[in-house]
Structure 1
Amino acid sequence: MTGTEIELPVADGVLSGVDFGGHGVGVLLVHGSGHNAAVWADVASRLVSGCHPIAIDLRGHGQTRLDSTGPEQYWRDIGDVVTALGWDRPVLVGHSTGGYAVTAAVASGLAESAALCVVDGVVLDDRDVSLAEHAAARTAETADRLRTMFRYGWEADDDQMHAYVEQCVRDAGGDRLNAGARHELVEEVTRRSFLRRGHRWARRPAIEEIATVTAVEPDADVFPSIEVYDRLTCPMTIVLAEDGFYASRRDEMRTVVDAAPGRRLIGISSNHNIPMTRPADLAAIVLDLVRGRAATSAGNVG
């Protein structure tokens, strides 16, 4: 993965990240649950000619050693990261859980953005349905399924870790989420998901991390439900994976997009992991947002 490892200060420590270089408009890339900064490598390599992309490892993920202490952790950290970078109205790009995180960071007023790019990471239900779904994500059955599918929280020695990474690469072609991704990228993302702890490796995230960030409060002001979009005033592009988790909910996304000017819905023929499987298409969308931001800034100066 081309890029420079960096640390970005937040309220009680630092997040790990990757600065991919480039110049001009800042673009913050935020991964989804179970992923890490490496997921953006192929997108970022296509962005550096037109902007300055930086990707972060959210708490409990990748090489960030901090764990979350509450359900609002991810988006509150994004506000701190944007402040630490000193960026003026960056473009914020979030995939899956990261899509809601960048949305909530802007909706809360903690981050000001020239444009949002939400990649297969929307919240379309009302509060009651969302609460029920988040409660279901904290059951013992869900925890067991995540351990079985992704080995979240697993501790491994060197040989076990390397064998698991190699297995994920071998299985990528038949994996519903990784099919179509470069095998080298699958290797980078999987390897970065292990954090060294003493003589062993911990597979991130742990089940406890998932439980913490899904324990939403019913009366929270900024809440993971469809009402959050009413709080946005900046342009927003929703990227829909046509074979992803939200493929059957295009009409609901269209309603969100039509509710305010400056919003777009763009479909991509892909599974959920668009940053890994369709990086060129996603980079082109982001660069379009960057050019729009640059044109707006030039107009304001003029």
Structure 2
Amino acid sequence: MIGTEIELPVADGVLSGVDFGGHGEGVLLVHGSGHNAAAWADVASYLVSDCHPIALDLRGHGQTRLDSTDPEQYWRDIGDVATALSWNRPVLVGHSTGGYAVTAVAAAGSVEPAALCVVDGVVLDDRDTSLADHAALRATEASDRLRTMFRYGWSATDEQMQAHVEQCVRESGEDWLNAGARPALVEEVTRRSFLRRDHSWVRQPAIEEIVTVSAVEPGAEVFPSIDVYDRLTCPMTIVLADDGFYASRRDEVRAIVDAAPGRRLADVSSNHNVPMTRPADLAAIILDLVRDRAPTSGSNVC
């Protein structure tokens, strides 16, 4: 599905995004690290008959030119976006890192969502373990691994960028992340990950973006650890992929769901990349949230 390119104002500039149209409840779609707004295109195609989905490019991703200068900006931006859209109590949907982003902004009270949908993007560790894991992401070895796997920060010519896009599409069926995704969608997401800067294309995000958002503060009020869920009061559905990042820790995810009313666990047969590989299944889960939380009168359409 092709949407309309939009700019979403935040405190110090604008984020790029895609408005997929539709009518009804506002649904904000937030991608994971390394992805961008295009990853939601197939999910949005199932949503537009019942709601109004918009996807954004987080800082340092896709076509957004803003970079993070502290570890919280990328999720705090979601509050500015909801305000700019004049959305009252939207449904927030986040995949992977985006799952933590929508959780954090709700936990901070910057947005009062009608509901959260967290897609294979939970935080299960205590603060000390989380701090150690985030520190490891900033290590040179981890940075080199990301450059090798995803070419983060790569500066490419027109020909190099086109060749890389074609290679990703050609190999998508055997790729651990894209296997099962529609090849044309892989192409769209890969192409959108290159931002034109001067006379070359830069593969977003840069390693510097990953390092910045990983530099979490030990004493932060909202912190990427399991206690963040104690701050949530809104309904929440956690989508767990049976071949995803958290499949082996299902009991811990179940405990988060059981800890408060209004929480659900939805199992999906998928690898981690649920939005691209199981869009119909994920859209059905989102639509259940939208229909359950729809107001009896009025609407939060922008």
Q: TM-score, normalised by structure 2?
A: 0.98
Report SS of the residue matched to 2:168.
helix
Structure 1 CA distance, aligned partners of 2:199 and 2:153?
16
What is the number of residues matched between the two proteins? Answer: 299
1:129 aligned partner, one-letter code: T
Query: Counterpart of 1:150?
Result: 150
Task: Tell me, in whole angstroms, the C-alpha distance in 1 between the residues paired with 2:268 and 2:242.
Answer: 6
1:218-250 CA-partner distances (Å, limit 9, x unpaired): 000000000000000000000001001101010
State the one-letter code of the partner of 1:135: A
* Alignment deviations for residues 10-57 of structure 1 (CA, whole Å, 9 cap, x no partner): 000000000000011000000000000000000001000000000000
**Corresponding residue for 1:94?**
94
Inter-partner Cα distance in structure 2 for 1:249 and 1:83: 35
Query: Deviations along 1:95-129, whole A, 9 cap, x unmatched?
Result: 00000000000000001100000000000000000
Q: Which residue of 2 aligns with 1:78?
A: 78
**SS, match of residue 196 in structure 2:** strand
Match of 1:167 in 2: 167
The one-letter code sitting in structure 1 at the alignment partner of 2:16 is S
Shift of 1:91: 0.2
Question: Hey, what does 1:253 align to over in structure 2?
Answer: 253
Query: In structure 1, what is the Cα distance between the partners aligned to 2:124 and 2:214?
Result: 16
* Aligned-partner SS, 1:227: helix
* Percent identity (aligned): 81
Residue type at the aligned position of 1:286: I
**2:247 is the alignment partner of 1:243:** no
Any residues of structure 2 matched to 1:111-260 within 5 Å, and which? Answer: 111-260=111-260
Alignment of 1:64 onto 2:64: yes
Residue deviations 1:142-188 (CA, integer Å, cap 9, x gap): 00000000000000000000000000001101101000000000000
Aligned ranges 1:257-268 → 2 under 5 Å: 257-268=257-268
- Report the counterpart of residue 6 of structure 1 in structure 2: 6
Q: CA deviation at 1:299?
A: 8.0
| Structure 2 Cα separation of the partners of residues 244 and 286 of structure 1 | 19
SS at 1:298's partner residue? coil
Report deviation, 1:293.
Answer: 1.0
**Bigger mean CA offset, 67-76 vs 181-190:** 67-76
Give, in whole Å, the separation in 1 of the partners of 2:69 and 2:9: 16
- Residue 285 of structure 1, CA deviation: 0.4
Q: C-alpha displacement at 1:300, in angstroms?
A: 10
Take 2:122 and 2:70, find their aligned partners in 1: how far apart are those partners? Answer: 20
Q: Read off the aligned partner of 1:298 and give its amino acid letter.
A: T
CA distance in 2, matches of 1:106, 1:8: 19
Distance 2:244 2:16 in 1: 28
Aligned equivalents of 2:75, 2:211: Cα separation in 1:
16
How far off its partner does 1:298 sit?
1.0
Within 2, Cα distance between the matches of 1:74 and 1:157?
28
Structure 2: gaps of 5 or more residues: none
Secondary structure at the counterpart of residue 270 of structure 2: coil
The alignment's TM-score, normalised by the length of structure 1, stands at 0.98
CA distance in 2, matches of 1:122, 1:17: 24
| Secondary structure, counterpart of 2:240 in structure 1 | strand
Shift of 1:6: 0.2
Other-structure match for 1:298: 296
Instruction: Give the residue type in structure 1 aligned to 2:100.
Output: Y
Letter in 1 for 2:184: E
Once residues 109 and 100 of structure 1 are traced to their aligned partners in structure 2, the CA distance between those partners, rounded to angstroms, is 14
Structure 1 residue 75: Cα displacement: 1.3
Match of 2:68, SS state, is coil
- Counterparts of 2:2 and 2:186 in 1: how far apart (Å)? 15
The gaps in structure 1 that reach 5 residues or longer are: none
Superposed CA RMSD: 1.1
CA distance in 1, matches of 2:186, 2:280: 16
Tell me the distance in 2 between the aligned counterparts of 1:96 and 1:49: 26
Give the 5 Å matches for 1:4-43: 4-43=4-43
Q: Which runs of 4+ in 1 moved over 4 A?
A: none
